[in-house]
Structure 1
Amino acid sequence: MSSLDRKGRKRSDYGYFLSYRTRWSDNDQYSHMNNAVYYHLYDSIINDYLAKHCGVKATSSSVIGLVVTSSSDFYRPVGYPQVLELGLRVSKLGKSSVTYEVGVFEEGVELVAAVGGYTHVFVERSNRKPGNMSSEIRAGLEKLALVGGKL
């Protein structure tokens, strides 16, 4: 999907949301949110969803997700003191991998300010060899997976 297609994302394109109150330290010298903070936000909503809806525990899961690719497209600057709303959806779900898309919205604004995310490949914690995600993880991710272009 091209960056231009993602630019038109709306809140209704996402199935799970998490709010984030920006901090002064999120801004860079140009008075907008530093690019690295966007990746912090992507990681936060994805891991929040995995913990709450997929049974992923930081220390007890035998299968873990490793990030193998990531991306971010920026459309409008955001920064302190804004409240952001992050939307999450699953754009691709395989046997041992999942691609997440996160929309970053300004509070009360319908169109995205940025779209990004990453792909997890699930591996065995003990040896880092490819492993299948558990049925609990799969069931949680399927709730956000695109079917026929809609959630």
Structure 2
Amino acid sequence: MAKEISAKKRRTRSDYVFHQVYRTRWIDNDMYAHLNNTVYAMLFDSIVNSWLIAECGMNPFTTQETTNTASQVGIIVNSFCDYFASVSFPDVLELGLRVAKLGSSSVTYEVGVFNQGEEDVKVVGGYTHVFVARETMRPTKDGMEERVRKGLEKLVKGGGAKL
């Protein structure tokens, strides 16, 4: 476990494939003047879903009948967050996204949080999705849809594993 944490602490922007900027807000701070833990979950969810919509055809605002939208949804089965340094308002954050593990029906995302212009990672977190049929909310025998898999494969980098 200590080795894994040490590796995360050495992450740089180049370890991540997709990047987004987030400008913190006053309301993001907690009573200790740093980003509230719940904000990190929102940031992770936002960057992951931005990728799923843009690259995997998983737009929740369209219907399968009118577009080529996925017939599956991702259900979170695990989440994690390792904190190395605080960030707070008015910081501008740079988020990086990669796939740490890609299975037949599941994916583990990793998000690195950096202060804009700084090289040291502040937080590394993410979660695991299991893809299930939209209609039944149960796993399918064929795993995740091909379009989703191809989009997620683009995020496998730097030690990410395809299973």
TM-score of the two chains, using structure 2 as the length reference:
0.88
Q: Distance in 2 between matches of 1:19 and 1:28?
A: 21
Residue-by-residue CA offset, 1:74-93 (whole Å, 9 max, x unaligned): 00100100100100000100
Matching of residues 86-125 of structure 1 within 5 Å: 86-125=95-134
Give the equivalent residue in structure 2 for 1:85.
Answer: 94
CA distance in structure 2 between the aligned counterparts of 1:46 and 1:98, rounded to whole angstroms: 11
Does the CA-based 8 Å contact 2:15-2:157 persist in structure 1? no
Structure 1 residues 15-72: Cα deviation after superposition (integer angstroms, max 9, x where no partner): 0001100000000000000011000000000000110111111153320000000000
| 5+ residue gaps, structure 1 | none
Measured against aligned partners, the alpha-carbon deviations of 1:68-126 in whole angstroms (never above 9, x if no partner) come to 00000000100100100100000100110000000001000112100000000000111
SS of 2:119's equivalent?
coil
Distance 2:54 2:136 in 1: 26
Counterpart for residue 54 of structure 1: 56
* Deviation readout 1:113-140 (Å, 9 max, x if unpaired): 0000000000011111102221111111
The structure with the larger Rg is 2
Instruction: Please show how residues 34-73 of structure 1 align to structure 2 within 5 Å.
Output: 34-59=36-61, 60=63, 61-73=70-82
1:134 aligns with 2:145: yes
Aligned 8 A contact 2:16 2:157 in 1: no
Q: Kindly, what percent of the aligned residue pairs are identical?
A: 53
TM-score, reference length from structure 1:
0.94
TM-superposed CA distance for 1:3, in Å, is: 1.5
Alignment-mate amino acid for residue 120 of structure 1: H
Give the one of 139, 143, 147 matched to 2:154: 143
Q: Is the 8 A contact 1:19 1:86 kept in 2?
A: yes
Q: Which moved more, 1:1-10 or 1:20-29?
A: 1-10
Aligned residues: CA RMSD: 1.5
Structure 2 gap ranges (5+) = 64-69
SS for the counterpart of 1:45 is helix
Provide the residue aligned with 2:13 in structure 1.
11
Report the alpha carbon displacement of residue 146 of structure 1 after superposing the two structures with TM.
Answer: 3.0
Flag as ranges the 4+ runs of structure 1 deviating above 4 A. Answer: none
Is the 1:92–1:146 contact (alpha carbons within 8 Å) kept by the matching residues of 2? Answer: no
**CA distance in structure 2 between the partners assigned to 1:62 and 1:12 by the alignment:** 33
